[in-house]
Amino acid sequence: MSKISVIVPIYNVEAYIRRCLESILAQTWKDFELLCVNDCTPDGSMAVVDELIERYPGKVRRIDNEKNLGLGASRDRGMAEARGEYLVFFDSDDYVKADFLETYEREMEHSGADLVVGGYIRVTEGKEQIFPIQDNEMTPWLYPAVWMRMYRRSFLEEHQLDFRGIRTYEDNPFNCRCMLHGAKTSVIPYCGYYYVCNPTSITRTKNGVQKYRSFSKNYWDLFEEYGESEAFRQRWEQMEYLFFTAILSCLLLQCHHAGREAAFEMYEDYKREMQARFPRFWKNKRVGLFKPKGEQRKVRLASSVYKAAEKLGLGRCLIWLLSH
């Protein structure tokens, strides 16, 4: 049995997949298996995988979906096949530093954590920007991307945690479920994951209302599953903040793509759904230009501006400006 299982869903990434997989196979930590989940990709991506299977016998495994299932279900397939004590989930158009697995494995062993989270490097048109993260109690909640993490497989299995087969935007609810089940976390001052802003990726080609609907539905489903739980109730203000800012960020971004009429429709939907679950959400005390600690500046700014606009009765005016 390998110490670490690396799970990579693959769909339409022929231009990037070799760089991704070779960065994994070049790791200084050698005790791992690489699971490549073919989500019925229509291009030549799997030819690269087959080549690497021949070059690295016993190290690379291929898993073929019978039909296109999306990211969440493909990751679930990988989890079901994984043999490692620890799991990591990489996106197929990204890549990692050679010491990524070694660094995370060392922290898992040292801390006894159920999940370890670190920073990342954003790559946009060849330019790199480093995003380290602060070590505080909110950090594991605020940065939900699964590729920033390493997970203890026994913890996920004990609490029956998976991606619920969600096609896209599955990271946020998965991360919240882990945290609501009391995952012991460790934050490390390490940035070893290269997140590539690929304009043809799944999450960047679905815009406007469709993206907002998919994203917000994941949160409403999460609320239906956990909203009455003791863990959720004990963290009510914190969970209210997470729902408030995450869905709002998606809404404000998609206003630029959806057009004015659709933007107003999403805005009314957002307020209606939030008020049904969190009646005083826009008064959440965690929202501010300088809080909470560890939050991204753009999220602080967006939520603070929205909060001020609602207080003045100018929420629709804000949406009108953003939808131009």
- Residue 245: which region, alpha, beta or left (left: phi > 0; alpha: psi -120 to 50)? alpha
CATH number of 4-200: 3.90.550.10
User: Could you report the per-residue pLDDT of 210-235, keeping only the tens digit for each?
Assistant: 999 999 999 999 999 999 999 999 99
- The amino acid occupying position 254 is Q
Q: How far is CA 140 from CA 59, 175, 182, in A?
A: 31, 8, 11
Residue with tokens 């158009």: 93
pLDDT at 305: 95
pLDDT at 155: 98
Q: Which tokens belong to 213? A: 């609907």
Lowest-confidence segment of 4-8, 94-98, 274-278, 282-286 by average pLDDT: 282-286
Give the chain's mean pLDDT: 94
pLDDT at 199: 64
pLDDT higher than 50, residue 204? no
Q: Which residue has the higher pLDDT, 101 or 255?
A: 101
Closest CA to 278 of 241, 305, 307: 241
User: Could you report the per-residue pLDDT of 60-96, keeping only the tens digit for each?
Assistant: 999 999 999 999 999 999 999 999 999 999 999 999 9
Q: Please say whether the dihedral angle defined by the alpha carbons of residues 318, 275, 300 and 167, taken in this order, is positive or negative.
A: negative
How far is the C-alpha of 157 from the C-alpha of 178, rounded, in Å? 11
The confidence band for 205, taking pLDDT boundaries of 50, 70 and 90, is: very low
pLDDT higher than 70, residue 144? yes
DSSP per residue over 145-161, as a string? -GGGEEEEHHHHHHTT-
pLDDT at 259: 86
User: Could you report the per-residue pLDDT of 192-203, keeping only the tens digit for each?
Assistant: 999 999 765 554
Provide the 10 A C-beta neighbour count for residue 303: 24
Q: Which tokens belong to 52? A: 């690497």
pLDDT at 293: 87
- The amino acid occupying position 97 is K
- The amino acid occupying position 59 is K
User: Could you report the per-residue pLDDT of 105-132, keeping only the tens digit for each?
Assistant: 999 999 999 999 999 999 999 899 999 9
User: Could you report the per-residue pLDDT of 247-266, keeping only the tens digit for each?
Assistant: 999 999 998 888 899 999 99
The confidence band for 145, taking pLDDT boundaries of 50, 70 and 90, is: very high
Q: Which residues contact 127 (CB under 8 A, 6 or more apart)?
A: none
pLDDT at 257: 81
Provide the 10 A C-beta neighbour count for residue 179: 20
pTM of the model: 0.93
Q: What is the mean pLDDT of residues 4-13?
A: 98
Residue ranges covered by each domain of the chain: 4-200, 206-322
Q: Which residues contact 183 (CB under 8 A, 6 or more apart)?
A: 113, 114, 115, 140, 155
Q: Please return the burial class of 159, using the count of CB atoms within 10 Å of its CB with bins 0-12, 13-18 and 19+.
A: middle
- Residue 126: which region, alpha, beta or left (left: phi > 0; alpha: psi -120 to 50)? left
How far is the C-alpha of 203 from the C-alpha of 213, rounded, in Å? 13
- Rg (the chain; Cα; Å): 20
User: Could you report the per-residue pLDDT of 19-59, keeping only the tens digit for each?
Assistant: 999 999 999 999 999 999 999 999 999 999 999 999 999 99
How far is the C-alpha of 312 from the C-alpha of 316, rounded, in Å? 11
**Beta strand 115-124 pairing with 127-131:** antiparallel
- The amino acid occupying position 293 is K
pLDDT at 201: 52
pLDDT at 258: 83
Q: What is the mean pLDDT of residues 315-322?
A: 93
Closest CA to 245 of 187, 305, 178: 305
